[in-house]
C-alpha cells in the first residue's frame, strides 16, 4: 500500500517538475547550470550537509520523540480546542467533491512539488546564496518544528471532531494516504503545521526572488495558500497550528538571511576541500 | 528483539511535582495542571468546571463523539468543560493507575460474567491501581451484594446481581451507555470456521480451517499497543487481553459463556461449609476445587508446566512483590478473579487443591487467568525486587507494567517477533496439548499468526479486499461499515459484544463525589440518540453493563433509561429541566446562567 502511494507521488511530482522547470526556469539558466554545477555544489555543500543531517535526525527523532514527548510534553489539545472551538469547520462551507479532491491532491502532491521545485530552481542561479538560504530555512523549519512537537502534545481537529470533518477528511476518502503520513508523522504532532510553514517559506522566497522568477511567484503563493487552507479543510490542523506555521516560516526566512554567509563557512570549508581534492586524484576524474 | 529496555519510571513525574507545588499537599497525588484548576474551582463563586478525558478518533471515534455531545450538553447547563484527549494507554494510565481524572468516556472490557462488577465496584479496591475499582466507589450495601453474588449460585446469585445492577443504575459510579455490535471482515476463501469463536478471545484464532496451502493467518489491528508491550499484567497496554490468551494458557477457557477445562484436564468443585456458629454458617461457605493438570505440557522455553506454576500464579497475582515489599502489591489485572481464591496447595506435579470463598461461577471465573511460569517471574523478581528499601508501587511497578517481561507462556502460540508500531508475529507452539491425539479441543491450525498495525478501519477494509491480509482482528468502527464492498471475496463477521461504552466518574473528589451530580450529568446523555447518530444503529442503548439474561426486568431498555431518563425529548435537551436537576443537587446559577461550583 505504501509502495503504491509512493510511486504515485513520485510519478506526479516527476511530471510536474520538468514541466515547471521549462516554464519558470528557462533554457538559458539550465545551460549555464550545466557548466557550473560542480562549483555551485561545492559552495553549497556545507548547507546541503546541514540539511541532510537535520533530515536524518528528524527521521530518527520522529520515532523516538513520542516517548520523550510523553515524558516532558504538555497536553494542549484541550487548550487549542477551547481557544478556537469549531473555527476550522468554516472551511466545511466550501466543501464539494471538487474542492475536496483539489485540497486532497494539494495536501499530498502540491505540497511535495512546492517544496522540491524551488530547490532545483534556485540551484540554477549563478549566485548560490538564495539556494543556501532556502536549504537553511528548510533545516530551521524542521529543527524548530521537531522541538515544538516534543513539547506540545496535541491531536488535530479530525481526532476531536471526526464526524464534522468526515466529508472532507483526507483519510476518510483516501485511507491509503495514511500509510504515507504515518511514516513521517505521529498524530500528536500538529503544532505547528509544517505543511504550512514550509509552504509559506517557499512563498516568501518566491516573493524575494520575484524579479528572477516572475511567473513562479504567483504560482507559489497560490499553492502555499492552498496548502495552508487544505490542512484545515481536511481537518488535519487547527487554525492555531497554521498561524504558528506562518510565524515559524517568517522566523526561518529571517534567520536564514542572518545565518547564511555569516561565518563564511562555505568559503572556509571550500578552500580546505579544494586542498583536500588536490591530494585525491580520483576526485578530479569527472565527465 | 530486545526485552531488556529500562523499566518504567517509578519516580514522581514532572506534572505531579508541579501540581503539588500549585495546590499543596492536599493534591499531592500526581495531578495534571488543568485538572487541579477544576478541583480548586469547586469552592466558591467560580463557575462549575470539569474535564472529560477521552481518546482521539484515531483510537476510537465513538468515544470522542460521545464526549463532545456530553460537552455540548454540559455547556448548555452552564458548566465549563474541557475535553482532555489522551492516547489509549495514557487514558488508562490516568484513570486506572493515577486516578487523575474528573470523568472519562471509554470502552470497558467487561467480561462474560457479571462477577466483573465485584472487581469494578468493591470498596476493598477503591485505593488500588488497576482495573479494580478505578472510580474509587465505596458503599457498604454494594459490597454486601457483590460478596453474596460471588458466594452463591443460581437464582439466589441472580437476585444479588440484580440488587447490584439496580444500585448501580441509581448511584452511577459509572453510567453504561451502549453495547456495540462487533463487525469484522475476512477474506472469503482463505479460512473457514470464523463462527466457532469470538475474535476477541483465543477461540477466534483456534480451530480455523485454512484453505489448501494456507499456513499463515494475517490479522489487522488498529491498536498498536500489543507491538509495544506484552506484559500480561499491564493495565494500560491491554484491552481484552486477546493476545495474552494466545500466548498463555489458563486452567479453564471460556467459550460461549461457559468455562471448560483447558490446561486443567478436569476439576471437581465441592462445597464445604466450615464449622462455625450457626448464624454465620452460610457466610462461611467455601468451595474446594481439586484440579488435575494435563501432563507433559511445557512453557515455550521448554520448562514443564506443573502445579507449582498454578500455585505461584494465584499467589503472585495477590502480591506481585512476593512479600518483599513492605506492603502487598496486587496485580492491576485479574485482581478480582484471583481474589476469590483463598489458598492453593500443591499435591504433586499435576494435582492442585484450591480453597475459594466463592460459588461455582466465581471459582470457574478464577480459572480463566493466565498461568504464569514460576521460574521466569521469580527470576524477574530477583532482578527487580532487590535492595533494603525496595518498594513495589501497586499497579505500576516494573514487573507488572514494563515491556521487559519475556512473553513466555504455555499457550497455543508462542512469541516470534515484534516490530514496534508495525507488527507482532506469533508462531504455533508445536508442543501444545491441543495438538495431541485424543484431545478434542480447538487447536492452532496455522504455522504463524501475524498481527499488523493498520492505520484505520477504512484502510483495513480496503487492505482485506485487496488481499493484503486475512481478517480484521480489531472490531471495525461503525462509520466504516458502509464502505465494506458487496463482494463474494469478503466475508462479514458479526458477533455480540460484552464490552460497553460508558461514562466513568472519579467519585473520590468533588464534584462527582456527589451522587446527585452524577445523576444530573447522566441525564444529559441521550443514549438513544448516540446509538443512532454515533453508532449508526450498530449498538444497543443500555442502563446496565451486562448482557441480556442478567438484565432485571425493571432495568430493561424501553426507549429511554428507566432510572435516569434523558432530560429532553427527540434528542433535544430540555435545558431548564436539566438545570433543575443541578439545583436539586445543591448547586446554584448566577445571573449569566453559569452553574456555580459551591453550595
Report CB contact under 8 Å: B14, A71: yes
Q: Cβ of A155 and B85 within 8 Å?
A: yes
For A156, name the nearest residue in chain B, comparing CA atoms only. Answer: B56
Note whether A115 and A16 are within 8 A (CB): no
What is the 3-state composition of chain B as percent helix, strand, coil, each rounded to the nearest 5?
A: 35, 20, 45
Residue B417 has φ and ψ, to the nearest 5°, of: -165, 165
Question: Which residue in this structure is represented by grid cell 504515507?
Answer: A180
Please classify residue B528 by burial: count the beta carbons closer than 10 Å to its beta carbon, then call 0-12 exposed, 13-18 middle and 19+ buried: middle
Tell me if chain B has a CB within 8 Å of the CB of A214: no
- Contact by Cβ (8 Å): B293, B91: no
Can you tell me the distance from the alpha carbon of B241 to that of A202, in angstroms, rounded to the nearest whole number? 49
Distance from CA of B34 to the nearest CA of A (A): 9
Report pLDDT for A271: 55
**Residues of chain B found within 8 Å of residue A160, distances taken between Cβ atoms:** 56-57, 64, 68, 83, 85
* Cβ-count burial B256-265 (b if 16+ within 10 Å, e if not): eeebebbbbb
The pLDDT of residue A273 is above 60: no
CA distance A165 to chain B (A): 12
DSSP sequence for B125-175: GTT--SSS-TT----HHHHHHHHHHHH--HHHHHHHHHHHHHHHHHH-SEE
How far is it, in rounded angstroms, from Cα A124 to Cα A28? 10
pLDDT of residue A176: 84
A81 touches chain B (CB under 8 A): yes
At the topology level, CATH places domain B187-493 in D-Maltodextrin-Binding Protein; domain 2 (3.40.190)
Q: What is the pLDDT of residue B15?
A: 42
pLDDT tens for each residue of A246-258: 999 999 999 999 9
Among the partner residues B13, B82, B87, nearest to A82 by beta-carbon distance: B82
For A181, the closest chain B residue by CA position comes to: B455
Contact yes or no for A77 and B458 at CB 8 A: no
Identify which of A1, A72, A79 has the shortest CB distance to residue B463: A1
Name the grid cell of A100: 475536496
The nearest alpha carbon in chain A to B534 belongs to: A163
CA A32, A34, A38, A41 torsion: positive or negative?
positive
Can you say how many angstroms the Cα of residue B149 is from the centroid of all Cα atoms in its chain?
20
**Residue A160 is nearest to which of B9, B64, B456, comparing CB atoms?**
B64
Tell me if B325 sits within 8 A of B266, measured CB to CB. Answer: no
In chain B, the residue whose alpha carbon lies closest to the alpha carbon of A77 is B85
**C-alpha cell belonging to residue A19:** 514541466
What are the residue ranges spanned by the domains of chain B? 53-180+499-584, 187-493
Below-70 pLDDT ranges, chain B: 1-44, 273-284, 598-599
Which of B13, B14, B57 is closest, CB to CB, to A159?
Answer: B57
> What CA–CA distance (Å, rounded) separates B55 from B255?
30
The reported pLDDT for the residue numbered A66 is 78
Which residues on B lie below 8 Å from A77 (Cβ)? 56, 83-85
Chain B: give the shortest CA distance to residue A187, in Å. Answer: 8
Any idea which residue has 465441592 for its cell? B270
**Total residues found in chain A within this entry:** 287
Of the partner residues A1, A161, A188, the one whose CB lies closest to the CB of residue B468? A1
Residue A269, judged by CB atoms within 10 A of its CB (0-12, 13-18, 19+), counts as middle
The partner residue sitting opposite A78, judged by closest CB among B61, B84, B456, is: B84
Residue in B58, B90, B466 nearest the CB of A159: B58
Length reported for chain B = 599
User: What percent of chain A is modeled with pLDDT above 70?
Assistant: 91
Q: How high is the pLDDT of residue A279? A: 54
Q: Are B57 and A81 in contact (CB < 8 Å)?
A: no
DSSP string spanning B396-411? TSHHHH-S-S-----S
Residue contacts between A and B (CB atoms, under 8 Å): 76
Q: How confident is the model at residue A264 (pLDDT cuts 50, 70, 90)?
A: low
Least CB–CB distance from A155: residue in B51, B56, B68 = B56
Name the residue of chain A whose CA is nearest to B60's CA: A159
3-class DSSP state of B113 = coil
Give me the domain span that covers residue A207. 2-284
Asked if A162 and B85 come within 8 Å (Cβ–Cβ), the reply is: no
Q: Is B550 exposed, middle or buried (0-12, 13-18, 19+ CB in 10 A)?
A: middle
Using DSSP, state whether B505 is helix, strand or coil.
Answer: strand
Quick: pLDDT tens for B18-28: 333 333 333 33
Task: Transcribe B242-256 into DSSP letters.
Answer: HHHHHHS-BSEEEET
Q: Does A75 touch chain B (CB under 8 A)?
A: yes
To the nearest whole Å, the CA of B81 is away from the closest chain A CA by: 9
Q: What is the ipTM of this complex?
A: 0.85
The whole-angstrom distance between residue B189's C-alpha and the CA centroid of its chain comes to 33
How many structural domains is chain A composed of? Answer: 1
- Backbone φ and ψ for B272, nearest 5 degrees, come out as -130, 125
Task: Please provide the average confidence, as pLDDT, over all residues in chain A.
Answer: 88
C-alpha cell at B9: 519510571
| CB B453, CB B219: distance < 8 Å | no
- Inter-residue contact B523 to B573 (CB < 8 Å): no
DSSP state of B181: P
- Cβ–Cβ gap B85/A158 under 8 Å: no
Give tens-digit pLDDT for B424-443: 999 999 999 999 999 999 99
Find which of B13, B17, B58 to mutate to test the A interface (most A CBs within 10 Å of its CB). B58
CA distance A78 to chain B (A): 5
- Residue A278 pLDDT grade (very low, low, confident, very high; cuts 50, 70, 90): low
* Record: fold of B53-180+499-584: D-Maltodextrin-Binding Protein; domain 2 (3.40.190)
Amino acid at each position: 500500500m505504501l509502495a503504491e502511494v509512493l510511486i504515485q507521488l513520485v510519478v506526479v511530482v516527476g511530471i510536474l517538475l520538468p514541466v515547471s522547470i521549462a516554464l519558470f526556469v528557462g533554457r538559458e539558466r539550465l545551460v549555464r547550470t550545466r557548466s557550473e554545477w560542480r562549483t555551485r555544489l561545492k559552495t553549497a555543500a556545507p548547507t546541503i550537509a546541514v540539511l541532510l543531517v537535520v533530515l536524518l535526525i528528524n527521521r530518527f527523532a520522529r520515532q523516538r520523540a513520542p516517548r520523550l514527548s510523553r515524558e516532558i510534553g504538555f497536553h494542549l489539545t484541550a487548550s487549542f480546542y477551547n481557544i478556537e472551538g469549531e473555527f476550522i469547520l468554516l472551511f466545511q462551507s466550501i466543501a464539494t467533491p471538487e474542492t475536496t479532491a483539489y485540497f486532497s491532491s494539494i495536501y499530498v502532491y502540491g505540497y511535495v512539488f512546492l517544496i522540491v521545485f524551488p530547490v532545483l530552481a534556485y540551484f540554477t542561479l549563478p549566485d548560490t546564496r538564495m539556494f543556501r538560504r532556502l536549504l537553511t530555512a528548510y533545516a530551521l523549519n524542521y529543527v524548530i518544528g521537531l522541538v515544538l512537537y516534543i513539547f506540545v502534545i496535541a491531536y488535530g481537529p479530525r481526532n476531536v471532531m471526526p464526524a464534522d470533518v468526515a466529508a472532507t477528511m483526507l483519510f476518510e476518502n483516501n485511507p491509503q494516504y495514511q500509510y504515507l503520513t504515518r511514516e513521517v508523522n505521529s498524530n500528536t504532532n500538529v503544532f505547528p503545521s509544517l505543511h504550512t510553514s514550509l509552504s509559506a517559506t517557499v512563498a516568501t522566497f518566491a516573493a524575494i526572488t520575484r524579479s528572477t522568477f516572475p511567473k513562479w511567484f504567483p504560482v507559489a503563493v497560490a499553492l502555499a495558500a492552498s496548502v495552508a487552507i487544505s490542512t484545515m479543510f481536511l481537518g488535519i490542523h487547527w487554525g492555531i497550528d497554521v498561524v504558528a506555521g506562518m510565524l515559524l516560516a517568517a522566523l526561518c526566512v529571517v534567520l536564514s538571511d542572518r545565518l547564511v554567509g555569516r561565518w563564511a563557512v562555505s568559503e572556509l570549508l571550500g578552500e580546505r576541500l579544494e586542498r583536500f581534492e588536490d591530494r585525491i586524484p580520483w576526485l578530479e576524474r569527472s565527465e | 528483539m530486545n526485552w531488556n529496555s529500562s523499566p518504567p519510571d517509578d519516580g514522581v513525574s514532572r506534572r505531579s511535582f508541579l501540581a503539588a507545588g500549585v495546590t499543596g499537599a492536599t493534591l499531592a497525588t500526581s495531578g495534571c495542571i488543568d485538572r487541579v484548576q477544576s478541583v480548586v474551582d469547586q469552592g466558591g463563586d467560580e463557575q462549575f468546571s470539569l474535564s472529560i478525558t477521552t481518546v482521539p478518533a484515531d483510537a476510537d471515534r465513538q468515544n470522542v463523539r460521545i464526549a463532545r455531545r456530553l460537552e455540548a450538553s454540559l455547556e448548555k447547563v452552564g458548566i465549563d468543560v474541557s475535553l482532555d484527549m489522551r492516547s489509549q494507554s495514557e487514558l488508562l494510565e490516568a484513570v486506572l493507575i493515577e486516578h487523575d481524572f474528573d470523568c472519562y468516556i471509554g470502552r470497558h472490557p467487561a467480561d462474560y460474567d457479571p462477577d466483573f462488577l465485584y472487581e469494578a465496584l468493591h470498596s476493598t479496591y477503591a485505593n488500588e491501581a488497576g482495573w479494580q475499582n478505578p472510580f474509587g466507589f465505596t458503599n457498604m450495601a454494594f459490597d454486601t451484594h457483590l460478596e453474596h453474588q460471588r458466594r452463591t449460585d443460581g437464582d439466589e446469585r441472580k437476585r444479588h446481581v440484580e440488587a447490584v445492577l439496580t444500585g448501580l443504575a441509581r448511584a452511577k459510579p459509572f453510567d453504561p451507555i451502549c453495547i456495540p455490535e462487533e463487525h469484522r471482515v475476512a477474506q472469503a476463501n482463505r479460512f473457514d470456521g470464523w463462527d466457532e469463536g469470538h475474535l476477541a478471545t483465543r477461540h477466534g484464532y483456534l480451530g480455523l480451517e485454512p484453505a489448501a496451502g494456507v499456513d499463515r493467518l494475517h490479522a489487522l489491528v488498529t491498536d498498536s499497543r500489543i507491538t509495544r508491550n506484552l506484559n500480561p499484567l499491564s493495565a494500560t497496554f491491554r484491552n481484552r487481553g486477546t493476545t495474552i490468551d494466545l500466548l498463555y494458557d489458563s486452567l479453564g477457557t471460556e467459550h460461549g459463556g461457559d468455562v471448560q477445562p483447558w490446561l486443567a484436564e478436569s476439576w471437581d468443585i465441592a462445597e464445604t461449609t466450615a464449622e462455625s456458629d450457626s448464624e454465620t454458617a452460610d457466610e462461611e461457605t467455601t468451595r474446594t476445587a481439586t484440579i488435575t493438570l494435563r501432563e507433559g505440557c511445557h512453557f515455550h522455553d521448554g520448562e514443564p508446566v506443573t502445579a507449582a506454576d498454578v500455585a505461584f500464579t494465584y499467589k503472585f497475582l495477590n502480591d506481585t512483590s512476593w512479600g518483599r515489599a513492605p506492603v502487598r502489591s496486587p496485580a492491576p489485572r485479574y485482581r478480582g478473579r484471583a481474589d476469590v481464591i483463598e489458598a492453593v496447595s500443591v499435591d504433586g506435579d499435576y494435582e492442585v487443591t484450591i480453597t475459594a470463598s466463592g460459588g461455582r461461577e466465581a471459582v470457574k471465573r478464577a480459572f480463566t487467568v493466565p498461568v504464569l511460569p514460576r521460574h521466569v517471574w521469580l527470576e524477574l523478581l530477583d532482578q527487580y525486587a532487590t535492595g533494603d528499601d525496595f518498594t513495589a508501587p501497586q499497579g505500576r511497578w516494573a514487573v507488572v507494567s514494563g515491556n521487559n517481561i519475556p512473553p513466555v507462556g504455555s499457550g497455543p502460540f508462542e512469541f516470534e517477533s515484534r516490530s514496534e508500531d508495525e507488527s507482532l508475529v506469533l508462531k504455533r507452539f508445536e508442543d501444545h496439548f491441543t495438538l495431541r491425539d485424543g484431545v478434542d479441543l480447538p487447536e492452532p491450525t496455522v504455522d504463524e499468526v501475524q498481527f499488523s498495525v493498520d492505520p484505520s478501519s477504512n484502510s483495513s477494509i480496503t487492505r482485506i479486499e485487496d488481499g493484503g491480509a486475512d481478517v480484521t482482528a480489531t472490531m471495525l468502527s461503525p462509520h466504516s461499515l458502509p464502505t465494506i464492498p458487496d463482494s463474494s471475496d469478503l466475508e462479514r463477521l458479526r458477533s455480540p459484544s460484552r464490552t460497553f461504552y460508558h461514562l466513568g466518574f472519579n467519585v473520590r473528589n468533588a464534584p462527582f463525589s456527589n451522587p446527585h451530580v452524577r445523576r444530573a450529568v447522566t441525564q444529559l446523555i441521550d443514549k438513544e440518540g448516540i446509538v443512532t447518530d454515533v453508532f449508526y444503529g450498530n449498538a444497543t442503548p443500555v442502563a446496565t453493563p451486562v448482557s441480556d439474561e442478567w438484565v432485571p426486568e425493571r432495568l430493561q431498555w424501553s426507549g429511554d433509561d428507566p432510572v435516569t431518563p434523558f432530560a429532553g425529548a427527540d434528542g433535544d435537551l430540555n435545558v431548564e429541566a436539566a438545570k433543575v436537576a443541578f439545583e436539586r443537587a445543591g448547586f446554584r446559577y448566577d445571573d449569566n446562567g453559569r452553574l456555580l461550583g459551591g453550595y
